[in-house]
Amino acid sequence: MGALQLVLGLICLAVTAVAVVLVVRTVRRMVQSIRLGQPDPTRKGPFGARFGNMVKEFLGHTRMLKWTHVGIAHWFVMVGFLVLSLSVLEAYFEVFNPAFEMPLLGSWSVWNLLIEITGIATILGGLWLIIVRQLNHPRRAGRLSRFQGSNFWQAYFVEAVVVLEGIGIVGLRAFKYSSDLFHAPAWSAPLTYVLGNALPASTTAVTVFAAFKILSAMIWVIVVASNITMGVAWHRFTAFFNIYFKREADGDVALGAAKPMMSGGKPLDFEEADPDTDVFGAGKIEDFTWKGWLDFTTCTECGRCQSQCPAWNTGKPLSPKLLITSLREHAYAKAPYLLAGGRKDMAGDEVGITGEGAEERLAKIDALALAEAERPLIGGPEEMGVIDPDVLWSCTSCGACVEQCPVDIEHVDHIIDMRRYQVMIESNFPTELGGMFKNLENKGNPWGQNAKDRLAWTEDLDFEVPVFEGELPEDVEYLFWVGCAGAFEDRAKKTTRAVAELLHIAGVKYMVLGPEETCTGDPARRAGNEFIFQMLAQQNVEVLNSVFEGREPGKRKIVTTCAHCFNSIANEYSQLGGNYDVVHHTQLLNRLVREKRLVPVAPVAQDVTYHDPCYLGRHNKVYTPPRELVGASGANLREMPRHADRSMCCGAGGARMWMEERIGKRINLERVDEALGTAPTKIATGCPFCRVMLTDGLTSRQNEKAASESVEVVDVAQLLLSAVKRGQDGQEAGGEAEADGKADVSTATKPTGTTLPEQDKE
């Protein structure tokens, strides 16, 4: 062993010791901080399902590969990080003894081929990720860049070390070959042989490259350990846990049902809840669950969520990525204060650090932690809030962020929790929501209409719509849940009538509840008013359970035309004891077409583009039935660039239907512009909220003469009815007496999130 080997070896060991001490200290602090979150026992099991899904997402890169070329590059970098870690271990011996090779593995041809491929792929993968980041740099694309707001030095540092590690592997092996210290066959190390033949023999170079491998890896560890919020690096370790503990044990993403309101690890019971002791949503960073803290820790700042967010893409201040990173920075800055015992009461008043040894604990806290403890979670710039109210209330809960996140962060759940605190504790929410809450509480629908008018849509039909009157006959297969929009909103009434007529033609036995029906509570829950949601949902569950009394599971069937009603009844009512078999009208109608109970005889023969409702598509994975219905009607389907799981929201979700849109471009206009880009005759959808928003956007464009007057928005059920009935006196079937863009919204409280024609504002 020469002097160089000894000196470099000791330096490597010393740097490694420092790195180990720092990383152990940081991991300990990270675990302690995550445990500050509220308990969440729903994440415990089953082990087999959770572990299997984690392995599938990890090895198969199932979520990363939604962006194929980036996913492939990342997979090779990930494999390189794992496989080459053994190579770094080998380097600790090579720095002292250049001839060293791993026992058993060192001379195994298959292992050498794996190292060869991994080393090359790591270099190429790392370089490709750097190129992608450069091509999408904010200076080039502004808001179009998914990396806007990301920490660039951290990302480039991580990617550069990846490339350097790959170079270290390749260089070391090449010099070992040139020095006759590498004996694997040529087929298992072709690049090593090519480079080795071009390099001079040098055991010193082997030592230097071994030290280079170790030092670059340990410097990486030291930098990462010194930056606890460096998610772009820490996700290599925390992503395994975040995927394992995701909300849905079956591997699905955290969409569909909203997470129940929890306090102390249990669903909150409003009859027994105490605002002084229970947690109502998230009003402070410590109100989030430990899984929330793990989410914040794991964010890689890749910006996939940001790139898909309808709010961000229309100039709103909300970026799901920046929201999560802001919570992360605040959480870890405030953690020392919380770990020392500091706290606030439920009203937000400072309790401070109390108890035995309080002064000593306080003295150990730095000024930053004390300053962070004073910051409100939600507040404008003047209040130094962590999250601006405009950010919080811009969310449409469309789920695009959750769908795209490669490490299973649950953005929508966190946003709803923050809204819950703002609504129920602070009474601080957009003024427009006040009218909606009042209407829901007093009238049972967001429009404030009378329950007796819930059957008004049946008046001009030429057949009788059966209404539930205390008993559900055995031959009735479906309860038709009309929904508030389907009963009161004129455009949605046309969908309701079309579906009723199609069911009548197909001979499907169904009934409606009429005045017994009330709002499912979806807009209240997404707006954060869990109390009103619980009130409405419990009322509906009681009614539905009485309707289906005596019926076996599998025969408690409900069909609905509203994607939001569909989602609530199918996914959320089970939280309150309501278990039903719920189908969307597009699913049922598509089945009836396949069974030949509905036979289209007159093709629509028009160009139609289909808009995926978020609560039908992303939240419930219903993509095919509506499209098959468009095809069955004889229309030519023209897909928009953003469709299926990447569909652009209409702007109505998350109770945005009832809020004014004052910042940036209106989301419905953005979506209508995209739809018009396909040059359609009709824009079809499967949700009354989407229909209202798209119609209003289309009307605005037609008023600006930016769109053809002949384009209209329809439900897919109307397309099918047109094909089945051959039209009605030259008009579209389903009661289309006037163009949708001119339809009146017969409401006491109009949705302020829509733009109505002047004649409809009276």
Q: Which domains does the chain have, with CATH numbers?
A: 3-32+70-240 (no CATH), 250-349+362-429 (no CATH), 436-594 (no CATH), 595-726 (3.40.50)
Q: Which two tokens stand for residue 147?
A: 């990396």
Mark out the alpha helices in 340-399 (DSSP H runs).
358-363, 367-374, 389-392
Cross-strand bridge partners of residue 682: 608, 712
When mean pLDDT is compared across 30-34, 610-614, 695-699, 736-740, the lowest value belongs to 736-740
The pLDDT tens digits of the residues spanning 525-547 come to 999 999 999 999 999 999 999 99
Q: Are 586 and 717 in contact (CB under 8 A)?
A: yes
Residue 294 amino acid letter: L
pLDDT of residue 293: 98
Q: Which two tokens stand for residue 478?
A: 């479906």
Question: In residues, how long is the chain?
Answer: 762
Per-residue pLDDT band for 760 (boundaries 50, 70, 90) equals very low
The DSSP secondary-structure symbol of 295 reads H
Q: Which two tokens stand for residue 452?
A: 């007796």
Buried b (16+ CB within 10 A) or exposed e, 565-602: bbbbbbbbbebbebebebbbbbbbbbebbeeeebebee
Helix %, strand %, coil % of the chain (to 5): 55, 5, 40
Q: Which two tokens stand for residue 171?
A: 């260089």
pLDDT of residue 743: 35
Per-residue pLDDT band for 728 (boundaries 50, 70, 90) equals very low
pLDDT of residue 390: 97
The pLDDT tens digits of the residues spanning 672-693 come to 999 999 999 999 999 999 999 9
Conformational region of residue 401, where left means phi above 0, alpha means psi within -120 to 50, and beta covers everything else: alpha
pLDDT of residue 351: 59
Per-residue pLDDT band for 358 (boundaries 50, 70, 90) equals low
Residue with tokens 């990302």: 155
Q: Which two tokens stand for residue 109?
A: 């041809």
Give this prediction's pTM: 0.91
How many CA atoms lie within 13 Å of 406's alpha carbon, on the beta-carbon side? Answer: 23
Conformational region of residue 606, where left means phi above 0, alpha means psi within -120 to 50, and beta covers everything else: beta
Residue 675 amino acid letter: A
Longest Cα–Cα distance in the chain: 100
pLDDT of residue 357: 66
Cross-strand bridge partners of residue 372: none
Mean predicted confidence (pLDDT) in 162-184: 91
For the four alpha carbons of 141, 144, 149 and 151, in that order, the dihedral sign comes to negative
Q: In whole angstroms, give the CA distance from residue 504 to residue 733.
A: 14
pLDDT of residue 104: 79
pLDDT of residue 14: 97
